[in-house]
Structure 1
């Protein structure tokens, strides 16, 4: 079983702490097996949560870091404070043994303080990016992405980006189907476009449960390979295009055509990961008019080419 150690230091940010505990704890393999064991550890039996509204009991000590396969570093209310005695050495020793280490939000300051991010690209919450770069000039800070995967070391931006990164690790460990199932259980939101779109993991975007658009969203998923127009989608929904656009904005935060394009990209991601199909065939199966249009849209949303995406995924799975 893969051991995930979540290090809770004083003034730990509760959301940062809960995301890896909850996400890895939800993962199930096709046979129902739980592939991860999650342990919360610290330098003391209890630590204060950010804001001082409650304390967090850590059942395990720093010795857990030496046993872990993955270590996750949540952020702290004051990320610039000195590390408690023993933390930096424990993390450096774990890294030397090949342990995967990931930081969430301003947890990047903890990881950077060990020197393990020197000469590497990293990210953190956009509001703290400049401070991280100034405090650790040997780290290349990129504030425009959801997360950065350097192989052994990963860093994520703030808030929901932690979930993106955790699901990314699940996909690397167990493939798209397992990650997609975990995402649905976590009610994973749509990926963000542009520079913030990295290797985000889903077979298809989950439809918001309980919304009036849910049947239409499922229909779009099933028919995304067709040359659909806004008028045809509105007709299927039994409403005008204007009303459809308004309902989509209200319930999904985007437009029908953007939802469709993202659905197509996710289907393409799944096919790139799980089949040997050439790009031309994947473009057709995912509903793009041409390989050129597919490559352009894929790069715009995912941030890389279909070929590079497939190569990265296959390397991770190997």
Structure 2
């Protein structure tokens, strides 16, 4: 399946770099297809965390690779190095498949590879990515996005999901599952599955939503409306929506649905209640409604989600 080049620079996140090296560096035993030829490319000796890394080749090797992997780096507030951006752009123009892990998406965006495309990164950096690159459609709620020749992933474990996805595309499910077994990770999580993020709440005590959001969380089993929330906050529905957008980045109804889904996730992870009971406890009304919203938001049905966590707790693979 050709050459996979890891594009590195100073300050790269060693976790994402290491997991990519583990996935693409050696194929599982019994694989009939030739495995990847893995190379590390950089501008010279670089610092990765507390370690010094000596790349195999310079960045000028990237355009000769079939797949280029761009791990994230720690200081995503800074513009990525121009030589790395130029080399990644040249690789894509030469026909390489380019994938970013975590904040590596900022390199792809700076190279113009994400313009007009949907993309993701670690949830903590999605707003910054959208603000700095308005031509990119940033999706903060998914594990990874596959645009064919350009792919992006969220952070940490989601980077592993994207790497295994690439193996699955190139070598099939059996090979990807074998790699996952060797690394003791789940063999497949769909890219559309949601990132697990904390519920955003205002930090200031005098914020108009500070008292409202905990009040809503305690009443998720009730059929709350925007008007109910506005009445509780003693403001108009329009003013409420404005404060919600500023504090959480979304609308009151979307925020409320997200909290219902997260409560359903908690109940599925920790208890044995039926889907019908969980639908009632989260204000969804019916199991059909819960399944529809849960599948669309999380990417898998509630029953599948529950089995995943039970398997993880029991050590089943």
Structure 2-normalised TM-score?
A: 0.60
Q: Which runs of 5+ in 2 are unaligned?
A: 196-265, 275-290, 302-317
Residue 165 (structure 2) aligned to one of 168, 189, 193: 168
- Kindly tell me: are residues 178 and 116 of structure 1, through their superposed partners in 2, closer, same or farther at Cα, counting changes over 3 Å? same
Residue 69 (structure 1) aligned to one of 66, 69, 79: 66
Alignment of 1:77-226 (within 5 A): 77-189=74-186, 196=193
- Do the aligned residues in 2 keep the contact of 1:194 with 1:303 (CA within 8 Å)? no
The DSSP-based 3-state class of the residue aligned with 2:4 is strand
Which residue of 2 is the match for residue 48 of structure 1? 47
Count of aligned residue pairs for this structure pair: 216
Which residue of 2 is the match for residue 3 of structure 1? 3
- Kindly tell me: are residues 31 and 124 of structure 1, through their superposed partners in 2, closer, same or farther at Cα, counting changes over 3 Å? closer
Q: Which runs of 5+ in 1 are unaligned?
A: 199-248, 259-293, 305-318
The DSSP-based 3-state class of the residue aligned with 1:116 is coil
Which residue of 2 is the match for residue 244 of structure 1? none
The DSSP-based 3-state class of the residue aligned with 1:81 is coil
Larger of the two Rg values belongs to structure: 2
Distance in 2 (alpha carbons) for counterparts of 1:178 and 1:129: 32
- Residue 15 (structure 2) pairs with residue 15 (structure 1): yes
What's the CA shift string for 1:124-151, capped at 9, x where partnerless? 0000110111011111111110000001
Distance in 2 (alpha carbons) for counterparts of 1:42 and 1:16: 16
Distance in 1 (alpha carbons) for counterparts of 2:58 and 2:149: 23
Which residue of 1 is the match for residue 310 of structure 2? none
Shift of 1:48: 1.2
Shift of 1:194: 11
- Do the aligned residues in 1 keep the contact of 2:180 with 2:187 (CA within 8 Å)? no
Structure 1-normalised TM-score?
A: 0.60
Shift of 1:162: 0.5
The DSSP-based 3-state class of the residue aligned with 1:106 is helix
